[in-house]
Amino acid sequence: MRQKINELKFYIQLEELNPLIEEIVVKIFSSGCKLMAYKNGNSKHQVTKLDCIIFLNVSDNRDRLHLLWDLIHEFGHHLDPDKLDKNDAHNPVDRIRREETAWILADSEFQKHPELFIFEENYLTYKRECLQSYKYYINLL
């Protein structure tokens, strides 16, 4: 876990947020979820028979703050008791409801950390873009 914390601090590159990153990673691990940084796909929360894991997209071209927003959003999926059934994975209404729930849970995590409030506009813009992109994607189906 120590290694994951350092890895995330390295990727997020906002030194003043290091204590917060540590707190959130500890929270994720204590809730029984794992964490993996990768560069070849979107961030996601993946549930398998044995465990679950948050894959965090740490590609170089991303806004560093977006990594943190992804982290609390994917953690929101983890906390959502309504896990996605494989058969419903492509049910658009379900998908959007789950995404909205994960963002609501991310909001409450965000609100717990006053040191994030100066980044609120960045957070809200990113959240809005993500929610729009799910709807856009679903309209294409």
Give min distance, CB of 98 to Zn ion, in A: 7
Lookup: tokens for 76: 């929101």
Query: For the CA atoms of 85, 82, 34, 114, what is the dihedral angle to 10 degrees?
Result: 150
Give min distance, CB of 12 to Zn ion, in A: 19
Q: Which is nearer to Zn ion, 21 or 102 (CB)?
A: 102
Q: Which is nearer to Zn ion, 11 or 74 (CB)?
A: 74
User: How open is the CA angle 26-32-2, to the nearest 5 degrees?
Assistant: 35
Question: Residue 74: how many CB atoms within 10 A of its CB?
Answer: 24
Q: Rule CB under 5 A: which of 101-120 touch Zn ion?
A: 102
Give min distance, CB of 97 to Zn ion, in A: 11
What residues line the site for Zn ion (CB under 5 A)?
Answer: 99, 102
